[in-house]
Structure 1
């Protein structure tokens, strides 16, 4: 073994030792960086250990449940249309946008953007391989997207039947999400992925259900208020437009979903998982 390999091995042993010594306090004091990181790595490894079918079903459930955000977005947009200026409606949507996220995250379903940084940490800590990460991402993304397709079909049919929104509303929402330059969507998705990765970190730092609800509402309301692109909610929004309006093309949908997924992943991995992990490593190295 070369000197460089020996040094890396010793460094990894020191990191593992420091993580092992990070015990979560039952007191009211805030968790340390090491405690949060340790919890995130453990939770990430637990997901790796789950059965593939279980992961796919949990991811599909998340894709379905996130549709309740879309249901409320469409209903509120339709209800306020003509009564309030459209730009004001788009800001007010931030009050209902978090509902689906609260259902998914507190219900422990697997949402790609919330799990991106979480699943990356065991790889950075050399407990899992890059190949296993990409395989897991593939399962989660597939489940989230399929769930989104199913709920989009249901909501596009039931909305007009219940007269809570119409297909014109569906089209307007889809166009609002996609009517940007490709670079804008990509950078917006990076910021959204950054915030969602940070949300996962903050939830691990919190100690009560109420504080977690407040954190989920705060972060996802910011996403909605400033119009950042979230791949899984956006999947429902744009796919619903695709199946109900000629204004959204299959090419436009595919470009959007690829940019949003890649941007969200990059934001979660680089700005949360990598930076948080490296900050801890440099602290251990002293």
Structure 2
């Protein structure tokens, strides 16, 4: 009798490849990846929450994030110090780069490049001057807080006598390698970094228990490609400024402005815009099909 009952429960509905029980159809539904519109809406709602936060909340959170991101530079420099000269040393030292991102994202601190994706979707969904003003306010506060936090970290690492001379030399080497890029390279590599960070933000809602892996893999690729990130790079270059190896003009003109522009172009004007257009097209197609019925 139980076998007969099982056979009765196993049916084939229209559009199914094979006959399945109700429980099996539930498993299929549960295991399916979320539709792009679900990811878009999840990120958009997060963006709405960020746009509604007060200046003081954004400021303190972004200051903490800027200081935390300094550990990406520090971890990479420490690995550089210990593995320099070994085969595959560059691949190993790049493993330190994801550390700051892991802490900032999992602790939900405000990171500027993450907001180039998250906070821009509400504006693309419902364009208006009020939304644009909120976005610019968010970007301004978060960017300023991140840079100030990164500057405090760089100054502290240099002047608080935390490390010996050879480790300080490794910290210097990381920043010097970054400044070998021309302003145009800062910009184009910044586009790649902004695109990858936006990709990471898009993947996180679907990752569930794999969030750590997503963050580590994406940011490791940024390090491997020597792509330029405005916040981590600010810590690296400001360390050189405080050490007298670079000027503030070098930081602003050669690094910060082109890298900032590249991160925004890659994260907001390319990835976010394409993702929004994809979801909008899918929604219009679904609306057309429903109208046809």
Q: TM-score range by the shorter chain?
A: 0.7 to 0.9
Q: What does residue 278 of structure 2 align with?
A: 279
SS in 2 for 1:27: helix
SS in 1 for 2:61: helix
**1:159-178 equivalent positions in 2, closer than 5 A:** 160-163=161-164, 165-178=166-179
The answer on whether the counterparts of 2:98 and 2:215 sit within 8 Å (CA) in structure 1 is: yes
Q: What does residue 208 of structure 2 align with?
A: 207
Distance in 2, matches of 1:42 and 1:193, equals 21
- Of stretches 97-106 and 237-246 in structure 1, the one that deviates more from structure 2 is 237-246
Distance in 2, matches of 1:241 and 1:170, equals 9
Q: What does residue 124 of structure 1 align with?
A: 124
Distance in 1, matches of 2:56 and 2:77, equals 32
Distance in 1, matches of 2:239 and 2:74, equals 11
Q: What does residue 247 of structure 2 align with?
A: 249
Distance in 1, matches of 2:147 and 2:55, equals 16
Distance in 1, matches of 2:251 and 2:65, equals 20
Q: What does residue 137 of structure 2 align with?
A: 135
Post-superposition offset of 1:165 = 4.6
Instruction: String of CA shifts for 1:259-281, please: whole Å, max 9, x gaps.
Output: 11111011101222110001111
User: TM (normalized to structure 1)?
Assistant: 0.84
SS in 2 for 1:66: helix
- Of stretches 90-99 and 235-244 in structure 1, the one that deviates more from structure 2 is 90-99
Instruction: String of CA shifts for 1:38-97, please: whole Å, max 9, x gaps.
Output: 10110000001111100111111110111111111121122233x337xx4333222111
What 5-or-longer segments of structure 1 have no aligned partner?
1-24
Q: What does residue 225 of structure 2 align with?
A: 226
Q: Which has the higher Rg, Structure 1 or Structure 2? A: 2
What 5-or-longer segments of structure 2 have no aligned partner?
1-27, 286-293
Distance in 2, matches of 1:202 and 1:124, equals 19
Q: What does residue 53 of structure 1 align with?
A: 56
Distance in 2, matches of 1:150 and 1:192, equals 24
The answer on whether the counterparts of 2:76 and 2:95 sit within 8 Å (CA) in structure 1 is: no
The answer on whether the counterparts of 1:123 and 1:129 sit within 8 Å (CA) in structure 2 is: yes
Distance in 2, matches of 1:249 and 1:90, equals 27
Distance in 2, matches of 1:285 and 1:237, equals 46
SS in 2 for 1:196: helix
Aligned-residue RMSD, C-alpha? 1.9
Post-superposition offset of 1:26 = 9.2
Q: What does residue 151 of structure 1 align with?
A: 153
Q: Which aligned runs of 4 or more in structure 1 are off by greater than 6 angstroms?
A: none
1:71 aligns with 2:71: no
